[in-house]
Amino acid sequence: MKPMKKFAVLLSGCGVFDGAEIHEATLSLLAIAKQGGSYEIFAPDTNQHHVINHLTGDEMEETRNVLVESARIARGQIRDLKQFNPASFDGLLLPGGFGAAKNLSTWAFEGADASVLPGVEEAISGMVALKKPVGALCISPVILAKVLGKVDLTIGNDERTIDALDSLGANHVYTTHGEVVVDPDHMLVTTPCYMLDATIDQIADGANNVVDAMIKLME
């Protein structure tokens, strides 16, 4: 019997407009479990860039913490990203949501000139250095491009984002629902999810296919 593959899942808050995309996060966890893996959830202990009212789309005058908000999805079973050790996991998975572009990085505001939260960069670089796969959904592949540069990835078909990725030296591959792009040299797996006009079952397909491809890279 093969040993259970252990995933670290990195969240960026709770809610598509200012944190982790909840469907993508939850369906990623389900995909890991259904394919015989286990997971631990991490998030950085830092304040969100801002808080968005998900009913109206308006910015709210309050402050929320990324780790505390991510704990909602994790049902309280979550660890500070500072505790992440690449040697303890077989793979790292980043769901999407604007939190990836606002809290884990500044991509939403600065595009290709964005900075990446140091702990996030260290986590990704640490996995790549150990030749362990990193998966990214939706907008989160832009973080991989920012950290690693010349990699193969996908965010679907958004031309503005693709132009920014090109400027970083990344090789973007156009994809549609459920399709994944694998960069075997850097052990990366990406899929567009809600970067396309997707349904929840298409998000499930994307998450399942990313986890499946990551497990194959682990073998």
Active site residues: 138
> Do residues 137 and 94 lie in contact, with contact meaning Cβ atoms separated by under 8 Å?
yes
| pLDDT 10s digits, 58-100 | 999 999 999 999 999 999 999 999 999 999 999 999 999 999 9
Q: How confident is the model at residue 3 (pLDDT cuts 50, 70, 90)?
A: confident
> Do residues 84 and 71 lie in contact, with contact meaning Cβ atoms separated by under 8 Å?
no
Start-end of H helices in 51-106: 66-73, 98-102
Residues near 213 by Cβ (< 8 Å), separated by ≥ 6?
Answer: 133, 135, 180, 182, 189
How crowded is residue 28: how many other Cβ atoms within 10 Å of its Cβ?
30
Domain limits of the chain? 6-218
Residue 94 backbone dihedrals phi, psi, to 5 degrees: -115, 105
Q: Looking at the DSSP assignment, which residues form a beta bridge with residue 60?
A: 51
**Mean pLDDT in residue range 5-29:** 98
| pLDDT 10s digits, 172-187 | 999 999 999 999 999 9
Domain 6-218 adopts which CATH fold?
Rossmann fold (3.40.50)
Cα distance between residue 120 and residue 106, in whole Å? 12
Q: Are strands 91-94 and 79-80 parallel, antiparallel or unpaired?
A: unpaired
Model-level pTM?
Answer: 0.97
How crowded is residue 76: how many other Cβ atoms within 10 Å of its Cβ?
8
* Half-sphere exposure (Cβ direction) of 163: Cα atoms closer than 13 Å: 3
